[in-house]
Amino acid sequence: MNRLFASFAFLMALQGCSTHPFPPEPSQQNLGKLVVNTPLLIEADRARVSLQAGRVVDRIDRNEPVCSVESWLKGEQSQTIQPDSFRISQLDERQGDISQGFGFYGSNDASMGMGVGFRLGSVGLGMGPLGNAGIGREMSRVAQAMIQVRLVSTQQPNIFRLTCYSAEGWLGSVEVPTVTQINQVLGGIATIDLAK
């Protein structure tokens, strides 16, 4: 028993020594590519840079689609995503209710952050698409749709994900952003091409 405990403690210590872990191994699929044409700066203490209407933004307009390019690491220093061609190895499409923590400011994926709303019984509480607080059934129906792709590059292995969200709308009326819409959001800073 002591040996098992000592082995476990040793493994935990080794894991703690790793200050720059790499993201999970991507699949070998080739579902397309993302080409970054212009260097993108990820600010210190952040793990993503957001783009909307062809420019980098700190605050997003919830009435317009938005994309984020993410690094696996959040460091004390800023990171620069250099021009590169990233293979797309995985693709996921989802839509969800913003009052339940889905969307740009909250996600069902723990690595993206916490939700901006919560539910009490059948009543949703949260922020509406125009920043207005609200209570009731209408709030529980505000939604976003998203497409998320896993990026792979040997030159920049920590840059691992592109996530694009639709504008906020009513649940059932939002659609996953198309390649054309994503390229409009990226505005030439980057371009995406999915395999047919």
pLDDT digits (tens, 9 = 90+) for 1-16: 556 545 545 544 444 4
DSSP state of 28: S
pLDDT band at 196 (very low <50, low <70, confident <90, very high): confident
**Residue-range domain boundaries for the chain:** 26-194
DSSP state of 140: G
pLDDT higher than threshold 80 for residue 185: yes
pTM for the full predicted model: 0.73
Write b or e for each residue in 111-145: b if 16 or more Cβ atoms lie within 10 A of its Cβ, otherwise e: ebeebbbebeeeebbbbbbeeeebeeeebbbbbbb
pLDDT higher than threshold 50 for residue 77: yes
- For the record, the structure tokens of 66 come out as 């938005």
Q: What is the mean pLDDT of residues 120-141?
A: 46
Instruction: Pick the range with the lowest mean pLDDT from 80-94, 121-135, 160-174.
Output: 121-135
Confidence (pLDDT) at 34: 98
* The CA-based dihedral angle spanning residues 83, 53, 159, 89, taken in that order and rounded to the nearest 10 degrees: -100
Average pLDDT in the chain:
80
Confidence (pLDDT) at 82: 98
CA distances in angstroms from 43 to 40, 49, 57, 94, 193, listed in the order given:
10, 8, 12, 28, 27
DSSP state of 116: S
pLDDT higher than threshold 70 for residue 133: no
Task: Look at 124 and 75; give whichever has higher pLDDT.
Answer: 75
